[in-house]
Chains A and B, each alone.
Chain A
């Protein structure tokens, strides 16, 4: 997979929040085989607690994809993105402009506007969006070279609520990297997304809140790989009725 000119081997992107401890996070990152981890920005305390976390992130060797989580307006998201670029030294930004605090549904109007502003400033924007095709087109026009449709609301673990819409996105944007961001709960959800032809999956809670985060990270990596291999192997068409798989020709007659 290539995003913004960068070749990425692992199709699993991992969030860094909600792990029971920094050690478990590090273990999960390692087991997932991910090359891209998402991070955030929050208010610093005078004791410099953020510095230790930043150091542990660097030790993973992963690329950093900072987010604008929690931003509800274009101005907040743009300011956060500018701060993230300085802090993490990357033009990559996972752009979130949240419309509702209960569903965490993207405000796609604000998203397109913020994407336009940031792309013009040289950011490489990874927009957290819905599966709407027109919004996808507007994001590409705004300068995005990747789209990140939701599978289900953030942190819900519901799996893909609307696989048909993702299939339509794949057909409509054949050459655009598509990353399912949010809603994955189980390895089968991740495999399903990949079988639909998504280029990658971004998840966090499904691993962080599993009983064994490192074990789940590795299960997710296998699922992503299996789903991708299945997509590339071109699955058979679904049929409404049974078709015998054993040849009928040469069948004995005993009556």
Chain B
């Protein structure tokens, strides 16, 4: 299915968020996720099912002021 990951269209075969992250190559634990604008806690990723066209944000620590 096609989803939008950090504004880029991507194809994933996984149906849950945890597996999809792995499939997309986000293997590092230092990321936080939001699906369609809503925060998804690390422990909830396995329960969250993805749907066609979902917008996923995967964020990491970055320099800031």
Bound-state CA distance A83–B27 (Å) is 17
Q: Is the CB of A54 within 8 A of B64?
A: no
Contact of B32 among A16, A39, A75, A84 (CB under 8 A): A84
Contact of A83 among B6, B26, B32, B63 (CB under 8 A): B32
Identity of the chain B residue whose Cβ is nearest the Cβ of A87 in the assembled complex:
B32
Bound-state CA distance A15–B37 (Å) is 26
Write the nearest CB–CB distance from B9 to chain A, whole angstroms.
Answer: 15
Q: Is the CB of A39 within 8 A of B37?
A: no
Q: Is the CB of B30 within 8 A of A83?
A: no
Stretch among A41-49, A137-145, A160-168, A170-178 lining the B interface: A41-49
Residues from chain B with a CB closer than 8 A to the CB of A124 are: none
> Any chain B CB within 8 A of the CB of A53?
yes
Bin chain A's interface residue count. 35 or more
Write the nearest CB–CB distance from B24 to chain A, whole angstroms.
Answer: 6
> Any chain B CB within 8 A of the CB of A33?
no
Residues from chain B with a CB closer than 8 A to the CB of A42 are: 59-60, 62
> Any chain B CB within 8 A of the CB of A154?
yes
Q: Which residue, B7, B39, B57, B61, has most C-beta atoms of chain A within 10 A?
A: B61
* Interface set, chain B 51-65, CB cutoff 8 A to A: 57-65
Bin chain B's interface residue count. 20 to 34
Report B28-48 CB contacts with A as 1/0, cut-off 8 Å.
101111100111011000000
Contact A17 to B28, CB < 8 A, known contacts A50-B60, A79-B34, A86-B41? no
Residues from chain A with a CB closer than 8 A to the CB of B39 are: 79, 82-83, 86
Write the nearest CB–CB distance from B62 to chain A, whole angstroms.
Answer: 4
Q: Is the CB of B65 within 8 A of A41?
A: no
Q: Is the CB of B61 within 8 A of A87?
A: yes
Q: Is the CB of A41 within 8 A of B32?
A: yes
Q: Is the CB of B60 within 8 A of A41?
A: yes
* Interface set, chain A 23-44, CB cutoff 8 A to B: 25, 38-44
Contact of B65 among A17, A76, A86, A87 (CB under 8 A): A17
Bound-state CA distance A154–B30 (Å) is 28
Q: Is the CB of A49 within 8 A of B60?
A: yes
Q: Which 6 A-B pairs have the closest CB atoms?
A: A50-B60, A40-B64, A15-B65, A46-B25, A83-B32, A44-B60
* Interchain Cβ contacts under 8 Å between A and B, 9 examples: A17-B64, A38-B64, A39-B64, A43-B7, A44-B26, A46-B24, A46-B25, A66-B64, A67-B64
Instruction: Enumerate chain B interface residues (CB-CB to A < 8 A).
Output: 6-7, 24-28, 30-34, 37-39, 41-42, 57-65
Instruction: Enumerate chain A interface residues (CB-CB to B < 8 A).
Output: 15-19, 25, 38-44, 46, 48-51, 53-54, 57, 66-67, 69, 75-76, 79-80, 82-84, 86-88, 154-155, 204-205
Q: A40-B61, A67-B64 are in contact. List 19 more A-B contacts (CB 8 A).
A: A16-B63, A16-B64, A39-B61, A39-B64, A42-B59, A43-B6, A44-B6, A44-B28, A48-B28, A48-B60, A51-B60, A75-B37, A79-B34, A79-B39, A83-B33, A86-B42, A87-B31, A87-B60, A88-B61
